[in-house]
Each structure stands twice: as structure tokens, then as C-alpha cells.
Amino acid sequence: MPEPSYIPETLAGVPRSAWPGHIAIIMDGNGRWAEACGLPRIEGHREGAVNVPRITQEASRLGLVQLTLFAFSSENWRRPPHEIAFLMELYREYVVRERPTIMDNRIRFTTIGRRDGIPAHVLAEADRTTEMSAGNRGTVLCLAVNYGSRREIADAARRLAERAARGEIDPAAITEATLASHLDTAGMPDPDLLIRTAGEMRLSNFLLWQLSYAELWVTEKRWPDFREADLHQAMRDFAGRERRFGGLPAESEGA
């Protein structure tokens, strides 16, 4: 992917080499945003959906390799049926409405998570957007829908066990890379930076394997209020951290 020339003032002086390539976001706080505004919870989800293209387009302008958004977790099925139906319709509307923007910005759209439970007409529209954008070479936009990380890892282990039972793979030869290649995110880079809105300090069963060495950045802002400047600040803070991946600080090497 060619390096874009766009550098916002809020990232001036931060070397591109220090920018995260893959950012994952837990888009939290839609319901609390609505309640604070005296609105029904579904209005918070609607406003949160409006914010997705804003941040996605900024990620594209910045030339990020990938943006992964936690849109609907496997635990979200516990919510009231009317809220789930509304969220599914928001998902369908998004993948239809944003097709021109996705294509104009050369964004490649994809999803992770199980398909069961999602209405067939919603899946059909998401699949169409995936197929239309498959040849794009810009930022990858990945939506995690009906996704749960523990379930994802269990599914990967099951697939490996089935292959071993058929004699296709030697259990002794299974490595971390082997397991990673059977996850929903196979072929994707691990996130460098995880952003969570609304101040919660937990991962909520999101990309547990993939986030092993990601930097975490939490803001009190709720997702509908999260803006491009907040994304830039998270990137600036990321650039200022030393990522050692279990090793020693650079100045300690050889000491």
C-alpha cells in the first residue's frame, strides 16, 4: 500500500515509522451516551454508527494497514430482542450505504465472527460489500460481528484436532503460528494498538490471542463523541511508548 502524504497537525513531528499499522477499537458507551442525552439507548447506537465512517475514512487517509472495530459481540445476544433487531438493521444499512465511500477510498471490507444468528438478508449485504471491495488495496476495515475471542480460539483448536484425527497434521508439529492460521484473523497482522472508549479497563473477550503484545489506550469519551483528534492522540501516545515484547529496554541491551 503506497504511503499517503496526509499528516494532520496533531501528528506533526511523529515519525511514520512510529505509527501503529493496525488499530483495533472497542466502540463502547453508545447506550450511556444516549442516556446522558435523555434519549433511548437505540439512539446511542444510531449515533455510534454515524461515527464509524468518520473514523474509518480518517484511518484510510492516514494510510493505516488495518482498522478492526468490535461491532457486536457473541455476548450481545443477551440484550433485549428489539435492541438486537435494531443493531442488525444498522449493520445492514451501514454495509449498503457506505459502499461508495469504501470504493472511493480503496478500503477493503471484511468481517470476523460466526455467521449463525445473523439474519440472512444482512449477511447477503455484508457479503456483497466484501466481494465488491476485495480488489481494493487501501486500508482493511474489519468488523467483528457476532465475535467472541474464547469461542474463536476453541473453534481453531477444534479444527486442528479434526485435522490431526484425519492424519493431516502431526499434533507434535502444532505451533503458535499453526493455531494463528486457524483463527478468524488468519492472514491479518496483529493489532499494534487497542483503543477502548467509555473508560472501561477490560478486553471484553475481544482478540485475546491477537492483542497479546498490543499497546492499550483508554479514553473516558464515549464512542459517539470519539473524533479524529482522539485517534491522533492515541497514535501519538503509542509512538511515545517503548515496545519491548518481553525483552530489555534498548539502553540495557549488552549491559
Burial class (CB in 10 A: 0-12, 13-18, 19+), 10: middle
The reply to whether 51 belongs to the active site is no
DSSP string, 16-41: GGGS-SEEEEE---HHHHHHHTT--H
- 76 catalytic per annotation: yes
Please tell me which residue in 30, 76, 127, 230 is annotated as part of the active site: 76
Give the separation between CA 83 and CA 81, rounded to whole angstroms: 5
Q: Contact 97/46 with Cβ under 8 angstroms?
A: no
C-alpha cell at 134: 476485495
Query: The cell 494498538 sits on which residue?
Result: 193
The single residue of 28, 30, 105, 192 carrying the catalytic annotation is: 28
Q: Distance between CA atoms of 163 and 171, rounded to whole angstroms?
A: 9
Q: Cβ contacts of residue 114 below 8 Å, gap of 6+?
A: 74, 146, 147, 151
196-221: b (≥16 Cβ within 10 Å) or e: bbbeeeebebbbebbbeebbebbbeb
Give the residue numbers marked as catalytic.
28, 76
